[in-house]
Amino acid sequence: MKKIFCVILVFIIALTLVSCRAERTDARAARHKGSVAESRVRDRRKLLQNSTNDENGESDKDGGASEDPAETLVLRLAEVHETGYPTTLADEKFAELVEQKTNGQIKIEVYPDGKLGSESEAVEQMQVGTVDFARVSLSPMAQYEPKLNVLLMPYLYDDNKHMWKVLNSPIGQEMLESISSAGLVGLAWYDSGARNFFLNREVHSVYDFAGARVRMQNNSLMFGLAEALGCQPVDMGMGDINTAIEQGILDGAENNIPTYESFGHVKFAPNYIFDSHSRIPEILAGSGKTFEKLSDDQKKIIRECAKETQEYEIEQWSEREKKSRDTVASQGVNFIELDEQTIADIRERCQPLYDEFAGDYKDTIEQIRNMAD
């Protein structure tokens, strides 16, 4: 009997010990679970905080648009060109001036080489405020404000001087401001020279364009232009052109000489045809969402600094145009000049585009034409 009692006692003690241990383990597990859950909540809160900051154009890294004047607001500028290209130099100048004139309150980081995405992506990111500034061609921008197509019409300007007369006139200012309809702030115009076709075949008459598959900018008017010449327009990034030509799925594209040179197209499409179909200015734009958070003083400084870089970019542009011309010449480009008749034929083919894309702005077109010397 005594023996049985002892066995039962030992069993009860063992059971109590096991259950105490189990409780401790459960408690630890619960604590661990709690800390995981808590840290998940913390992480999520942080993520939400970041995305709210991002939506507001702020980020953890930049410390946000603080009320504290001593804190630095870091803003991002998107650029598709490489470092050293005229527009990138102007972006950097803009950043430098803004930092200087705001006494370090606003710092603009320039992201070249399309690091923040394509130009259309940069525009869309500015609309939601996740990118603060972008330097883009007016061509993709016109997809967001069709009125801008007026400034892109083929053979609209007689020469660069004529284009600048227009851009610096009230028409240019009105066009610059028109992008507010898309939630953007137009800040400055930059030069981008004349655009010409370059192909892996020679072109000497308007008929030689027939059937060529050409990469065009992401803009309906530009697609229309290619079609008017009997080409097949293709939508693709500038960086994919060379491989596409090499693979035989593209015959060429169109651009100014500095871009033709910097993207190394000469090796793949050595025939550069001087048809000068368009002069498409570049635009430096800001995000409306970012602007909402700035003080009036800061907005004023940004606008002034942007305008100040316009002349600087024009100078850089004209230097680079000459250099690029020499560079591609040394790389074996076949420059093709077209005769007057061929240019007249191309212009005639482009004429219907005026009704289609600028039909509502006939007066403005006439005013622009009247501004030629």
Residues that bind ligand BDP (CB under 6 A): 80, 119, 136-137, 192, 217, 238, 255-256, 259, 282
> Cα separation of 95 and 41, whole Å?
38
d(CA 138, CA 121): 14
Instruction: Report d(CA 206, CA 80) in Å as an integer.
Output: 31
* Minimum distance of ligand BDP from residue 65's CB (angstroms): 28
User: Between 80 and 110, whose beta carbon lies closer to ligand BDP?
Assistant: 80
Closest residue to ligand BDP, judged by C-beta, is 137
Nearer to ligand BDP, 136 or 187 (CB): 136
Continuous segment of H or E residues that includes residue 335: strand 334-337
Nearer residue to ligand BDP within complex by CB, 119 or 208 = 119
Listed in sequence order, the residues at least 6 apart from 90 whose beta carbon sits closer than 8 Å to its beta carbon are: 135, 190, 284, 309, 310, 312, 313, 316
Rg (CA), the chain: 30
Cβ closest to ligand BDP, residue 285 vs residue 294? 285
Nearer to ligand BDP (CB atom), residue 317 or residue 357: 317
- In angstroms, give the least distance from the CB of 290 to ligand BDP: 21
In angstroms, give the least distance from the CB of 351 to ligand BDP.
23
Residue 233, phi then psi, degrees to nearest 5: -75, 145
Select 130 or 256, whichever has its Cβ closest to ligand BDP. 256
* Cβ-based nearer residue to ligand BDP, 80 or 199: 80
Shortest distance (Å) from residue 137 CB to ligand BDP: 4
In whole angstroms, give the CA distance from residue 254 to residue 321: 15
- The least CB distance from residue 136 to ligand BDP, in Å, is 6
Helix (H, G, I), strand (E, B) or coil at 183: coil
The answer to whether the beta carbons of residues 74 and 64 sit under 8 Å apart is no
- Nearest distance in Å: CB 119, ligand BDP: 5
Distances (CA, A) of 226 to 10, 104, 112: 95, 47, 29
CA–CA dist 91, 109 (Å, integer): 9
Separation of alpha carbons 177 and 187, rounded Å: 8
What's the closest the beta carbon of residue 60 comes to ligand BDP, in angstroms? 30
